[in-house]
Structure 1
Amino acid sequence: MCGRFALNATSDAVKSLLAVMEVDPFPPRYNIAPTQPILMALAGPAAAQGSNLPTRRTMLVRWGLIPSWAKNPADLSLLFNARSETAAEKASFRAAMRHRRALVPASGFYEWRRVGTKRAEPYWVRPRHGGVIAFAGLMESWSEPGGTEMDTGAILTTEANEDLRGIHHRMPVVIDQQDFARWLDCLNREPRDVADLLRPADPGFFEAIPVSDRVNKVANIGPELQERAEGRAAAPEEKPKDASGDQLSLF
């Protein structure tokens, strides 16, 4: 899953990773939650003309996709994750999978491991090599009855790899930098042409660090959220029971 993540890289690092013309400076964000603005990168219009210049565009969107056909978003669940296995067929995500695939820069994400029936232990999951990575995302614009347009988005998830399934059975899809162009090319590549990219990260790509439950509160936004919690063990290797109904799973 991906219900909280962080982006504490510099704007220059994000600009370099995504190969975009410009990224407005932003402060480090250590506890990004659904309904908050997130940065996305999409293919720009010049990409279809064979230009060798950086043509990807960035935009801020509300984390929580609202389908264009929705009459009243309050009647829908908060769609901040999309299952990669079914997104191309689901009415809520089908159009975005075909026309508005995106990249979501991140420094890592938080995940909760259910312990017993009333307690969940949080982990900060980051790439072992450090730096900034990109999750697979979907963007959709929604117009309210009054005509105001809102850009919204979701992060695609897949089954957890062997390193993380002891914490949770899902994880966000990470797109390798070498595959950015193919993933973003919605003009020439249909969802079936990029389905092979929607896979778990390779074993060893991520490390999971036990952290305190301060991350549970959206109001806590400091770097201390990513500090190792004393007395907590590393992520277990065993696979837990399916936690799809847990509230903290968030999807």
Structure 2
Amino acid sequence: MCGRFTLYSTEQELINEYAIENSFTFEQSFNIAPSQRVLAVINNGKENRAGQLHWGLIPPWAKDKKIAYKMINARGETLAEKPSFKRAFQSRRCIIPTSGFYEWKRTEDGKKKPYFIHLKNKKLFAFAGLWEKWNDPTTEEDIFTCTIVTTSPNEMMANLHDRMPLLLENKHQDDWLNPDIRDTDYLQQLIKPLPSEHMTAYEISTAVNKPTHNGSELIEPI
């Protein structure tokens, strides 16, 4: 799964990496948590645009927004089947830029040790995501939300958890974003773990366990 991540790149790095055409705002963070607003990139059929979405997808048919807490991740293997994700998988896909993410490894004594995972070259990368628009019946406000797609783990991640976020290779990002591509059989082929040789992980302090802690010290190895 993916329950916490970072984004500490600059605005210009994001623009260069994802060919973003619009102006946008975001705050660098070393501890992005569910329910918070996250920076996402979508394609409107003409250009890539960046904006903030609430992390925790709310399907259009949901009666209230509490369901979002159960929708921070979506299993890639069943996107085309699940009513919550089926429509978004066809035409409302996004990518969520990140500098690295966290995972917790359960030890023999039942405790959990946090690890920080990033690319070996320390460059930006992106989670595959889905987005939706939900109209709040109590306020009539449109709320834009997202979820992070997960897949089976690669060899390195299997030592930490039985799932990992779908990390899209650069060559696949344009197709994932393209709303005109609705062939779910083809899209399903993109849902596979990034090879281990591109990634690295190391143990960090348990200070990351609290979302209120947010500083570069969180990603220091111990």
- Same-fold call, TM > 0.5? yes
Q: Secondary structure at the match of 1:21?
A: coil
Quick check: 1:137–1:156 contact (8 Å CA) kept in 2? Answer: yes
Task: Select between 17-26 and 190-199 the one with higher mean Cα deviation.
Answer: 17-26
Paired position in structure 1 for 2:136: 144
Q: TM-score, normalised by structure 1?
A: 0.84
Larger Rg: 1
Determine the C-alpha separation between the residues in 1 that align with 2:26 and 2:85: 29
Q: Where does residue 94 of structure 2 map in the other structure? A: 102
1:37 equivalent in structure 2: 37
Residue in structure 2 matching 1:157, options 138, 150, 156: 150
Decide which of 184, 189, 192 is 1:191's aligned counterpart.
184
| 1:58 maps onto 2:50 in alignment | yes
Question: Deviation string for 1:186-229 (max 9, x for gaps)?
Answer: 22332222111110011211101100000000000000000001
Q: Give the direction of change, closer, same or farther, for the CA distance of 1:21–1:193 in structure 2 (3 Å limit).
A: same
Q: How does 1:1-251 map to 2 (within 5 A)?
A: 1-46=1-46, 55-74=47-66, 77-145=69-137, 146-229=139-222
Q: How many residues align?
A: 221
Report the residue type matching 2:133 in the other structure: S
Q: Which runs of 5+ in 2 are unaligned?
A: none
After TM superposition, the score normalised by the length of structure 2 is 0.95
RMSD: 1.4
Q: Which has the higher helix share?
A: 2
In the alignment, the residues of structure 2 paired with residue 65 and residue 75 of structure 1 have an alpha-carbon distance, to the nearest angstrom, of 8
Q: What is the CA deviation profile of residues 132-153 of structure 1, one whole-angstrom value per residue up to 9, with x for unaligned ones?
A: 0011000011101131110000
For 1:22, the aligned partner's letter is: N
Identical aligned residues as a percent = 36
**Cα shift at 1:117:** 5.0
Q: Counterparts of 1:183 and 1:75 in 2: how far apart (Å)?
A: 25
